[in-house]
Structure 1
Amino acid sequence: MKEELIGNIKLFAKISGKASLAWIKVALIGAIIMIVNIVIAIILLGDNTGGGFPASAHAGMLGAVMGFILLFVVEFWTALLMTVGILAPILFIVLANKNAIASAVYNVWKYKIADFIEPKIDFYIDKILQKQPGFLKNITEWSVVKVKLLDTINNDSQTPKLQKRIIKFVLKKIKMDDVNFKDPNTNLSTILSLKIRQFIEGFAEPDLKLVWILVGIDIVLIILAFVFNHQ
């Protein structure tokens, strides 16, 4: 039992490392796009002989805003390139977070350690019932249970963050349309454990297809900025 526990801890450390690497990979691509886009946009704007935008920057915040709008009129593709560069970190951090948790879920299946979920689900349901003994008798739809479970998980300070993130991610993804919550014989813990296992077992290995599509679009945007730059 002790050896199994130590083995699971090591596996979770490995999964956590892979998830972190998956996050860094996507975030790094976003950082590169931000730097490249902004640098190229500044260079292209520096080559522009029009003085409207730099001059407007000296007119205060309103002037800067008007200048940026004017920039879209005069140098649309360059302005768009800069805007994408500024917004890239936000978008790619969101994608990095999704990629990291997807990597963790996939590796939980790969290393066959989804067993940790079942006792956790039982634990969270018990926590709910301690506060609201009649909760399961009054529910009619999954959304109510899901909100309550997610709230209970958020308030759990004992479970490692990665495990909580995996459970929360899966709870948000599983479908419970075929479950009759009005049936008094419905065993929520058993059904949830089964649904979660089925979801994890069918979870595909995450890829960076969307990220590379965005990189491709950005490259096209850079080309357009150069082609249509007004010197």
Structure 2
Amino acid sequence: MKYALITGANKGIGYEAAQQLLQAGYFVFLGSRDAAKGQQAQQQLQAVGLSQVQAVELDVTSDESVRRAVEVVRQRTPQLDALLNNAGIPSNLAHQPSTIPLDAIESLFATNFYGVVRTTQAFLPLLRLAPQACIVNVSSSIGSLTLQADPAWEYYQVKPVAYTTSKAMVNAWTICLAYELRDTAIKVNSVNPGYTATDFTRHQGHSPAHAAQVLVKYATLPPDGPTGQFFSEEGPTPW
């Protein structure tokens, strides 16, 4: 049995990724900031015959919440084979770089970047115990500095400053962590699931199930799979 933990898994892309990993034979921990919503998601999956699932209350902005989540996971398994850092919040699109309140940046970074660091550091001991493990940091093409600077890019005029910066930081973290773990059996990659119909996009874009396929691909890499890279559905994405 392989074990995966997904943050922000009670709905959207995280929920669909959980369903696909369950169908692939994984035991999945559904990380959810809201315990009741996590339990509801667990029940929905069990109702369709996907029984190897457990909701875990997990607020990635809280040291204590993450610590408790680690203990819950350890009660069932000493190892973790996949960690999907999926939890995230969007920017206020009205903010401009020259006037955005600092607390608006800090509150978004608390989830989108510091939450990734906090969760990964806490679960890394369990990932190290797996024969081979994958860390997927959910990113976005919005966080690509190369694309953001290219006037020919289709989303060139989309500049949500706090979100863009947070995902660029996630990408930098991915590079640094993958380098640190280069001689281990842990793969670390940033993955862009694409423009997806979720609360973030007012339910425009491709389906969460479609987006989840991209995440699951890089959460289930073979031992010779890539690490320290940035991927989307089309393949490698420029940093």
- Higher strand content, 1 or 2: 2
Structure number with larger C-alpha Rg: 1
- Higher helix content, 1 or 2: 1
TM bucket normalised to smaller? under 0.3
Which structure exhibits the higher relative contact order, with contacts defined as CA atoms closer than 8 Å and separated by 6 or more residues?
1
TM-score by length of 1: 0.24
